[in-house]
Structure formats: C-alpha cells, structure tokens
Amino acid sequence: ITLCEDDGGTDEEESFIESDKMTGVDDFARSNSVSSTTKSPQQMRSHSQSSALSLGKEIVKAFREEILTSNHDDISLLDDSVESRPEFSDFRIPSNTYAIAIDDSKIQRKLIRRYFELCGIPACRTTIVGETYNEIMGFEDFVVNFIVSHPNDFVFMVMDDNLDVARTNASGNQITMSGSLCVENIRKRLPTQLEQRLFALIRSVNDSATDIATYESRAHGFLPEQIVKRDKVLDLLAPLWLARFPTALFGETCGLSSKSTPEITSNGVAHSTIVDITRRMTCIQSLFEKEDPSELHLIHDQMLELKRDLLTLDANMSVTSRTSVICNIHLMMTAESTKTALERWSTVRQQVQGITDGMQKNFRLPPNTHGIAIDDSKIQRKLLSKLMEFIGITKDNITILGDGPSEILSFEDHVVEYMQQHACRYVLLIADEQLDIVNESSQHESISGSHMIKKIRERLPPELEDRMLTLVRSANDSAVDISAYCECAHGFLSKAPIRRDNVHGTLMPLWVQRFPDGAFLC
C-alpha cells in the first residue's frame, strides 16, 4: 500500500482522484460493470488497474488519517522527546588542546588523524604513532613527558586497545600490549594537577558491556572502532568531554576560558593577538614541512584562519601592510600544488614576520604597571631593576627585595599588603627560585620562590590576583622544573642573560597570554 501511494500512478491519476471522490465500493463495482460492456478487454484491464490503484490510494489516505488522529498524543510526546535532546552544534574543543593517538594499523592511524581534524584540532597539534616497536614500547614515557611539558594545555588521547608489537617473546608468540592498561599506567604516573587535564578514550572493536566497563575503569570513555559520520563526530564526543571537564570546575571548556578569551569589540568581533598569529604561523609551517600533497586543504583552512587573525589583530598596522599580506594570502590559496603554495608562502611568512617583529619592538606595558622582584644576589637585583626599567616601568614603581633574611622572610606579607594598597594597578612579580638565607641558628636555609608565589596568590582575593603576572626565575630550565614552576606561577623566566633587543619579545607572549585584553601599546 505504501509503495502504491509513493511510487505508483501519474499526476493525471492523482488529479482524477481529487475530482472524483468515490462514495463506496458498490458504486465502484457498478460503474465498472457498466463500462465493461462498451470497452475492449485491453481497455477493461487498463481501466480496472487504474481504478484499483485509485481505490488503493483512498484506502491509504483514510488509514493514515485515522492513525494520525488516534495517535496524536503519542506523536506529540515523541516530538517533545526529540526536542529535549541536548544540542551540541556549538560545541568546540578548546584551542589549547593537543591530540595524541596510537594504533598499530596504518589505515586506522589515517582515520584517527581525520577524526581529530573533524574535532577541530589542527594537524600541527596532532601526534599519531604506533608504526614501530620503539613507538609502541616508548609511548608511556612519551605521553608523560609531553603532558609535563604542557601543563596549561589539554591533551586528548585515543588509544587502540590491542597493540600488536612487531616482535615475539621468548616463546615465539607475538607480543600484544593493552592500550587501556597503558592509559591506566600513564594516569598513575602523572601528578593530579596534570592528570586532570588529560582526556583518554579507548578505541576497540570489542564493545561488549564487560569490555566497555573495563575500558571506562582505566580511561575516561570508549570510542567504537567504526567510521563516524562527519555530522555526528561532535555529538558523540561532546558528552564525554563535558563529563570529563565539567563547566563548574573548568569554566567554558567548549571554547576559550575566561582567562584566554580574546577581547570582544563593540561590533562583536573577537580581537586576535600576536600569540594567535605566532601559533598559526607555526602550525602552517609544520604542515608544509610534511611535504604531503594531501595536506593542501588543511593549509588552505589554516590560511583562512590566519587571514581572520590579521583582520582582527588589535594593532596600529598600516592599511597598506594589512592589504598587501591579505592579497598574498589569497594568491597563495589559488595554488593547485603544494610546491607552488610553498613558494608563495615564503612571501606571506616574511610579511607577517615583519608585522609581529614590529609589534614586539613597540611593546609597552600599561602605564599603571608596578614591578616587584626578589633575589638574594646583589648583581641579580641590579639586573632585575634594569630589566623592569627597560620594559617601561618607572623607577618609582619598582621594588626589588632580597637583601638579607628579613626581606626574604617578610616578602609574602609585603606583596599581599602592596597589592591591597594598589588595587587598580597591574603588578609584574619576578621571584628567584632558590633564595638562600642564614637563619637564627646560623644554619643555611633555602626558600623556594615558586612556593612563595603560590602562597601569595592563595592569600589574595580573585580581583587582586587577576591583576598579577608572576614569573619564576631560575637557572634550572628542564621540562620537569618548568612544569613545577608553572603550577605555582604564571610562567618561567630563564636566568640566562637576555639581549636588549629580545627583552620585549621574551616578555610580550607571557603578558598577552595572562592579560589577553590587549592592555599594551603597539
């Protein structure tokens, strides 16, 4: 009956039905018997088929009307349930998210790479391994070191559960590693603060209730090893992501957090910063270095983002400079080969580099910025004073402490009181990591500058702490050390000498990342 209504008949037959409504089966039979006396057998068969088709359509219509009328309430409930489903069309993974995955299959590695692209993670922030024995066996150490060196970023990790290593054990059997156990070991090795920024999913064809329960006990969720439609990727990912990073604890992780949201202009357009430009340039350059023709569409996507960043860059850039680089971006995007695009990219890169260099050279802290520093070395205190003067802080607004145990031991109280007295000021705070003093027992004692900064930040109310940029200064610059410093402060400043022409370039990214509202002149 359904096929009869949907596919059978012509427009003429449908119009016939609309004009001649049948009153019953008996009328149809009588008319059919009368017409049969005047028509040939072929015409009778044709007319009979047409009339049967018409009657069938009438039955379908009547049946449908009755069903829709009798089940109207059920259909309304169904519509309500569909409308009540959560909507994830606006879901976005934070821009400071890195993707890591491992799979022993070349095809699956390509599928995972494509999956990350659909999730919105650019190729320059994606690492996919699993091709060799060393990549599989060294994966745990690699991930732990990577997360330690990126303490302020999110890491989205996808693990194949069955990793077949291209070697055999003593019994001659092929070695198979469990990806879910690998995730469990990684989570145990990470400090709590870093583990909380990891989002790990197990990908497997084994999807029984028991298997999934095992995966979820070791990782943060399960990802079926099957092709996912483009328009369903975020719908499947968003609930898992939001369950791992609740808004109440992490802020709006479906976009940029409040600390890193670009300034919104009066017309609703988000301003980009030099940090955005630099990251975009690095990402595009990494795509070219792969020398893979299939990456050309990704390069085009990133070039469009670069164009947007340049158009919304909050800088006193001349119209000529901005127009010139935009035109060259358009020219580059017309390239049909990676080789041609690379040649044109060289021109774009030089132009953008000139813009960012000019911004760094003209970088100035806000005029209402004060500087506080502490170091137990007299020479280092002089260098810190010169550094702050050079970046634009006046001598009257600079306080350098650390001359003797009393200044070091009272530093926390001094800074907290200073912030309360200068509530409308920005404060740049630099602390030496290792502060040596001689205590009352005439014994040498070492005080951690990063721990002092952590206590200061904990003692201050949010509205005052939000106006501080705290940096730890140390000669120890390993990834582990820097990670520990960044857990207490906002950044790390090397104790190595900084060239005068590199001072602004060193400080500017730290300042802009902490205060993305463009509170500087350029």
Report the C-alpha gap between 53 and 57 in whole angstroms.
6
* Rounded-to-integer distance, Cα 208 and Cα 211, Å: 5
Q: Write out the DSSP string of 453-464.
A: HHHHHHHS-HHH
* Residue 384 falls inside a structural domain: yes
pLDDT one digit per residue (tens) for the chain, 522 residues: 334 334 444 444 444 334 444 444 444 445 444 444 445 555 555 555 566 666 666 665 665 555 445 444 444 444 444 444 455 556 778 888 999 999 988 888 888 888 888 888 888 889 999 888 888 999 999 999 999 989 888 999 999 988 887 665 556 566 788 999 999 999 999 998 899 899 999 998 888 888 888 898 899 999 887 766 777 788 788 888 888 887 645 554 444 333 334 444 434 344 567 777 877 888 888 888 876 666 677 788 788 888 877 877 755 666 677 788 888 888 888 887 878 888 888 888 888 888 877 776 667 778 889 999 999 999 999 999 988 888 888 899 999 999 989 999 999 999 999 999 988 888 999 999 999 988 878 888 899 999 999 999 999 998 889 889 999 999 888 888 888 898 899 999 988 877 777 777 778 778 877 876 543 333
In the DSSP assignment, the letter for residue 521 is B
Whether 282 and 197 share a structural domain: no
Query: In this structure, are 101 and 246 located in the same domain?
Result: yes
101, 190: one domain: yes
CA nearest to 156, candidates 191, 183, 189: 183
Residues 6+ apart with CB under 8 A from 270: 261, 262, 263, 264, 312
For residue 156, the model assigns a pLDDT of 95
Block residue for tokens 């995007």: 333
CB 457 within 8 A of CB 415: no
Answer whether 128's CB lies under 8 Å from 103's CB. Answer: yes
Q: What is the 3-state secondary structure (H, E, C) of 386-433?
A: HHHHHCCCCHHHEEEECCCHHHHHCHHHHHHHHHHHCCCCEEEEEEEC
The DSSP letter of residue 254 is T
* Whether residue 384 is found in the same domain as residue 338: no
Q: Which amino acid is residue 478, in one-letter code?
A: S
Pair (374, 504) in one structural domain = yes
The alpha helices in 71-175, defined as continuous H runs, are 72-83, 106-119, 133-137, 139-148
Identify the domain boundary among 41, 59, 83: 83
Distance CA 274, CA 182 (A): 38
Range of the domain at 303: 274-360
What pLDDT was estimated at residue 449? Answer: 94
Are residues 121 and 93 in contact, defined by beta-carbon separation less than 8 angstroms? Answer: yes
The gap between the terminal CA atoms of the chain, to the nearest Å, is 74
Long-range contacts of 21-26 (CB under 8 A, 24+ apart): 21/58, 22/54, 22/55, 22/58, 25/55
Are 62 and 146 part of one and the same domain? no
The one-letter code for the residue type at 353 is: Q
Count the domains in the chain.
Answer: 4
Do residue 374 and residue 350 come from a single domain?
Answer: no
Task: Report whether 364 contacts 520 (CB < 8 A).
Answer: yes
Instruction: Say how far apart CA 293 and CA 6 lie, in whole Å.
Output: 47
Statement: the pTM of the whole predicted model exceeds 0.75: no
For residue 16, what are its two tokens? 């016939």
Residue 152 falls within a domain, yes or no? yes
Can you give the CATH number for the domain in which 151 is found?
3.40.50.2300
471, β-bridge pairs: 430, 491
Domain annotation covers residue 157: yes
Is the Cα torsion angle 256, 258, 261, 267 positive or negative in sign? Answer: positive
Helix, strand, coil percentages in the chain from 3-state DSSP, rounded to 5:
55, 15, 30
pLDDT at 10 (0 to 100): 44
Asked if the structure places residue 257 within a domain, the reply is no
CA–CA distance, 321 with 352 (Å, rounded to integer): 9
CB 369 within 8 A of CB 427: yes
Domain boundary among 342, 360, 378: 360
Query: Which residues are 155's β-sheet partners?
Result: 98, 198
Domain assignment present for 258: no
- Tell me if 504 sits within 8 A of 357, measured CB to CB: no
Q: 204 and 223 in one domain? A: yes
- Does any domain span residue 391? yes
Quote the pLDDT of residue 82: 41
CA 231 to chain centre: 18
Spatial separation of the C-alpha atoms in residues 204 and 160, rounded to whole Å? 6
Coil, strand, or helix at residue 469?
A: strand
73 and 134 in a single domain? The answer is no
Q: Which of 22, 54, 83 is the last residue of a domain?
A: 83
d(CA 295, CA 179): 29
Q: What is the pLDDT of residue 417?
A: 93
Please tell me the predicted confidence (pLDDT) of residue 519.
Answer: 39
345 & 316 share domain? yes
Closest CA to 426 of 475, 468, 470, 480: 468
Q: How confident is the model at residue 229, as a pLDDT?
A: 72
**Helices assigned H by DSSP within 20-105:** 25-35, 41-70, 72-83
The residue to which tokens 């609703």 are assigned? 268
Residues in the chain: 522
In a domain, 491, yes or no: yes
367 touches 425 (CB < 8 A): no
Specify the amino acid at residue 263: E
Q: Are residues 413 and 490 in the same domain?
A: yes
User: Within a domain: residue 521?
Assistant: no
Looking at the structure, tell me whether residues 387 and 468 fall in a common domain: yes
pLDDT at residue 170, rounded to an integer? 57
